[in-house]
Amino acid sequence: MISQVQKNPRGPQVILSRTSPRFLSRLLELEIPEIAAGTIKIKDIARQPGERAKVAVYTQDGDIDPVGACIGVKGNRIISILKELDGEKIDIIEWSPDPVLYAKSALSPAKVNRVVIINKDTKEMEARVDKDQFSLAIGKKGINVRLASKLVGWKISIKQE
C-alpha cells in the first residue's frame, strides 16, 4: 500500500507499507465481495503486524451475518488473506455501539463472563473471566487485551472470577 509520496531533489519518493491497517482493509475488500459492495462495513482495525489483527465489522442488513460472511465457508475467504500476511492471526468481530458488548466481542477468542465500566470519563472498564480463560483474554505478551483496548477505545483490565 502506498503510504506516502515525498518530493526530494532526485524526484518523487514513494513509501510503501504492508503494516498499515489500511493494507489489511484493502485485502479484505479484495477478498470479500460484501465489503467491496458496501453491504458489510469495516468499522475499525487494530493490528500488531506479523502477529495478530482484530477487525470490527457491521452491517445494517439483518439477513447477513457479517462475521460469518467475512470468514466464509470453512474459512475459505480469510485463508487467502492469512497467506498474504504470512500467517498473521485475524480475529473478525462484530462491532457494537455499546462499549460493553463491543469489549466482550473484542476480547475473543476468550469467553468473557461480564464487562463492568469502572469510569466513563476516563474510559476504563474491567472484563471478568474464568480462571481457564484468563491467559487467553490477556494473550501472548498481552497482545489480545492491548488490541481489544485499541479497537474499543477504552482501557480494559482483565480480572479472574
Say whether pTM exceeds 0.75.
yes
Q: Which of 45, 62, 95 is the last residue of a domain?
A: 95
How many domains is the chain built from? 2
Q: For 92-111, how does the pLDDT look when each residue is reduced to its tens digit (9 = 90+)?
A: 999 999 999 999 999 999 99
Q: Whole domain around residue 25: which residue ranges? A: 8-95
Output phi, psi for 99, to 5 deg: -60, -30
Specify whether 118 is located in the same domain as 160: yes
Mean pLDDT, the chain, integer:
91
The residue that leads in pLDDT, 135 or 2, is: 135
pLDDT beyond 80 at 3:
no
Strand partners, 125: 117, 156
pLDDT in tens, 142-160: 999 999 999 999 999 999 9
Residues 9, 23: Cα–Cα separation, whole Å: 29
108, part of any domain = yes
Whether residues 106 and 160 fall in one domain: yes
The answer to whether position 2 is within a domain reads no
Q: CA nearest 157: which of 121, 123, 109, 131?
A: 123
Q: Are 154 and 99 in contact (CB under 8 A)?
A: yes
pLDDT in tens, 4-37: 788 888 888 877 667 778 888 999 999 999 999 9
Same domain, 41 and 26: yes
